[in-house]
A = this chain, B = another copy of it.
Amino acid sequence: MKISSRFTVAVHILSLIKVDSSHPSTSEWIASSVNTNAVVIRRVIGMLKKAGLVGVKAGAGGAYLLKDLEEITLLDVYRAVAAVEEGELFQMHENPNVECPVGANIQSVLELILKRSQDAMEQVLADVTMKELVTDLIAKIDA
């Protein structure tokens, strides 16, 4: 299974808010850039709002950043949209048979390794800020 596109959509949203100042960042406008339905965008923005990353002018239209892009890591975004529940990237099989020595002990052995693996993935996200991403993005746009 894959990690929900909510994550990449959220990154797109934040980038667009920052890069395009010619339009108010309404859900319709963002949806036309992402190429999806405005309600999908509103749902993701709702999650970013709960995480304190953006604010929204209710009724009036338009989302805006509440933090500097330097202060937002990709991991913050990833967590904000609950792309994966914390510490739950790998699905363990449930209730192995504890009567069996292997069944009784496999979980704890695996957990350690899988956590390391997941942590490594998240660490890469933690090391990239939205600022860096948008800088790269603008470089591409201007190229």
Chain A residues within CB distance 8 Å of chain B: 1-5, 7-9, 11-12, 15-16, 19-20, 32-36, 74, 84-85, 88-97, 100-106, 108-110, 113-114, 116-118, 120-125, 128, 133, 136-137, 140-141
Contacts and interface: CB of A to CB of B under 8 A. Distances in A.
Given A89-B3, A124-B117, A140 B19 contact: no
Given A33-B97, A103-B35, A90 B7 contact: yes
Query: Which label, helix, strand, loop or mixed, suits the secondary structure of the A interface?
Result: helix
Contact of A121 (B7, B117, B136): B117
A67 B116 CA distance: 25
A34 to B, nearest CB: 6
21 contacts: A1-B2, A2-B84, A2-B88, A2-B90, A5-B94, A7-B90, A11-B106, A16-B100, A19-B101, A20-B101, A32-B97, A33-B103, A35-B94, A35-B95, A35-B96, A105-B140, A109-B133, A109-B137, A117-B122, A117-B125, A120-B123
A73 to B, nearest CB: 11
A97 B125 CA distance: 25
A137 B106 CA distance: 6
A3 B32 CA distance: 31
